[in-house]
Amino acid sequence: MIRYNFMISNLVKAIRCDHDSTIGAGGIIYDTKSLRILIVRGHEKWSLPKGHSEPGESPHETAMREIYEETSLRVTLQPNDVHKKILKVVYFLIPMEQGVEKPIEPIDTQEVIDVRWVTRQELTQIYPYCNKQLRYLYKHWDYMMYCLYRKARRLLQTH
């Protein structure tokens, strides 16, 4: 009987999580020239630019707002743009075709104290100081870069 109740309890938790387990959105911003991603540092950990959704805000709207607040980059996203859910956060894959010419400074300096472009090799050096989502990206780097490459190719073919 105890095992049965435990299984039911876990099933209920799983259903609740599947119903709406997304708590925020952000972006995996990728420089196609230098093969680097943009990361931000809060007071404790390095992470991808992301944040919590405001009431009535869609994931792509949250991602655009948070990316701007944390990096000063203005990106345009659509709901059907390529995205990946990593541990309750929806990340939109954003290739930067021209690289970034201007310095990147956070708008919200209360939450973000540094912004940096890094390669996978550079992530190795700061891995102990990365949050769970950034660690996931590190472990699945090749797959994520493949998705970004395909998206960048599609964008170039349509322009």
Report the number of distinct structural domains present in the chain: 1
Beta strands 46-47; 24-31: pairing state: unpaired
Does residue 118 sit within a domain?
A: yes
| 36: phi then psi, degrees, rounded to nearest 5 | -120, 160
Does residue 148 sit within a domain?
A: yes
Predicted confidence at residue 95, as pLDDT, reads 84
In which domain, by residue range, is 49 found? 23-158
Does residue 46 sit within a domain?
A: yes
Instruction: Give the pTM.
Output: 0.77
Does residue 2 sit within a domain?
A: no
Residue 55 belongs to domain with CATH number: 3.90.79.10
Does residue 58 sit within a domain?
A: yes
Does residue 32 sit within a domain?
A: yes
The more confident residue out of 14 and 113 is: 113
Give yes or no for a contact between 80 and 138, defined as CB atoms under 8 angstroms apart. Answer: no
Predicted confidence at residue 78, as pLDDT, reads 86
Does residue 18 sit within a domain?
A: no
Predicted confidence at residue 103, as pLDDT, reads 75
80-97 pLDDT per residue, tens: 788 888 888 999 988 886
Does residue 8 sit within a domain?
A: no
Q: Mean pLDDT, the chain, as a whole number?
A: 81
Predicted confidence at residue 12, as pLDDT, reads 36
Predicted confidence at residue 98, as pLDDT, reads 60
1-54 pLDDT per residue, tens: 444 444 444 433 333 333 356 689 999 998 888 888 999 999 899 999 999 999
